[in-house]
């Protein structure tokens, strides 16, 4: 039971950055914008959160720095993808490369820097419940925030007028524009929310999950988050299941290794990415199902007539 509780707790911990980033990507893609720069934004958010926390001694300031950087980089991407109507794939890849390089450069002085002490994680009293407390109620508050965001984003997209407008822009921006909605403004707003979620994800990695700064520490999670949105067919609850599936795979392997089951570390490192490729390959065998769920204008710049 103790091992099972540990597996559940570590799975929640490992899945949180994937879920946060994927939820942000989901909202942006629902508006019709494909941002491949997630990896670079997560790296920039991770180092800025680390710098902010080390320099001020406040984790709250670190998280705020990450959110601000995430929004700034998302809007920087919006200048090209929305404002200048550049190719979204090329612009996103540029942001990913730029963010990776800049984060490595500004992070050099902070490799080995020590974070301040932080309070105990978990929900008071509930974390003392045998098994359940250790498994579900011993996490950092960001974990619970990520879980709350899943129904919140679902409700916003499918039960509110604003969410309907976002989905309308993603499906038919020309029709939304004809009805008087500003397509660029809505897409930039969706990207800003996406950037905040991605920034929070990067901060969680460097401040809570690791916690340290190492060049390239995001280690492909941004690409996995992008794949998770496709895996979840642009639905929040399916994205949640996908994030916890991939997070759980990694943690189960690590727990098996700690129990004495011999698993090469190289296999542990490559397993989530191999699973991503297999899932996407299997999904591609049913392109009709993907087209029915994918926003019709995803990746296409809006050029008003």
Three-state secondary-structure class, residue 31: coil
Residue 259 tokens read as 């129990």
| Residue 145 pLDDT greater than 70, yes or no | yes
Report if residue 299 sits inside a domain: no
Q: In degrees, to the nearest 5, what angle opens at C-alpha 100 toward C-alphas 99 and 102?
A: 65
Q: What is the CATH number of the domain that holds 91?
A: 1.10.3470
- CB neighbour class for 88 (10 Å; exposed up to 12, middle 13-18, buried from 19): buried
Q: What is the pLDDT of residue 250?
A: 73
> Please, which pLDDT band fits residue 289 given cuts at 50, 70 and 90?
low
Report yes or no on 302 lying in a domain.
no
The pLDDT assigned to 58 comes to 95
User: What's the number of domains the chain is made of?
Assistant: 1
User: Does some domain include residue 305?
Assistant: no
Q: What is the pLDDT of residues 223-270, one digit of tens each?
A: 999 989 988 889 999 999 989 988 887 776 666 666 666 667 667 667
What pLDDT, on the 0 to 100 scale, is given for residue 127? 83
Is 208 inside any structural domain? yes
Residue 243 lies in a domain: yes
Residue whose C-alpha is closest to residue 68's, from 48, 53, 93? 48
Q: What is the reported pLDDT for 248?
A: 81
pLDDT tens string 150-172: 999 999 999 999 999 999 999 99
* 173 within some domain: yes
Grade residue 283 by pLDDT with cuts at 50, 70 and 90: low
Q: What is the pLDDT of residue 3?
A: 75
pLDDT at 171: 94
What residue numbers bound the domain in which 42 lies? 2-293
């Amino acid at each position: 039971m103790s091992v099972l509780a540990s597996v559940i707790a570590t799975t929640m911990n490992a899945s949180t950055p994937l879920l946060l980033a994927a939820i942000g990507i989901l909202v942006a893609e629902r508006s019709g914008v494909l941002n491949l720069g997630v990896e670079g934004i997560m790296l920039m958010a991770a180092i800025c959160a680390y710098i902010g926390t080390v320099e001020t001694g406040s984790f709250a300031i670190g998280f705020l720095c990450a959110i601000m950087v995430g929004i700034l980089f998302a809007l920087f991407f919006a200048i090209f993808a929305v404002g200048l109507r550049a190719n979204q794939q090329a612009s996103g890849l540029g942001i990913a490369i730029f963010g990776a390089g800049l984060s490595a450069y500004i992070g050099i002085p902070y490799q080995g820097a020590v974070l301040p002490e932080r309070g105990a994680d978990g929900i008071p009293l509930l974390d003392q419940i045998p098994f359940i407390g250790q498994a579900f109620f011993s996490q950092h508050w960001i974990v619970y925030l990520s879980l709350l965001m899943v129904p919140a984003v679902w409700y916003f997209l499918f039960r509110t007028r604003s969410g309907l407008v976002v989905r309308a822009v993603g499906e038919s921006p020309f029709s939304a524009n004809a009805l008087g909605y500003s397509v660029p403004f809505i897409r930039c707003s969706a990207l800003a929310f996406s950037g905040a979620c991605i920034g929070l994800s990067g901060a969680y990695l460097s401040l809570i999950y690791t916690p340290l700064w190492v060049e390239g520490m995001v280690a492909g999670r941004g690409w996995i988050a992008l794949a998770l949105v496709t895996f979840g067919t642009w639905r929040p609850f399916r994205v949640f299941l996908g994030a916890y599936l991939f997070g759980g795979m990694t943690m189960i392997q690590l727990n098996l290794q700690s129990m004495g089951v011999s698993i090469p570390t190289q296999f542990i490192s490559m397993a989530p990415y191999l699973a991503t490729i297999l899932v996407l390959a299997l999904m591609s065998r049913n392109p009709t199902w993907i087209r029915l769920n994918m926003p019709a204008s995803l990746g296409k710049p809006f050029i008003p007539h």
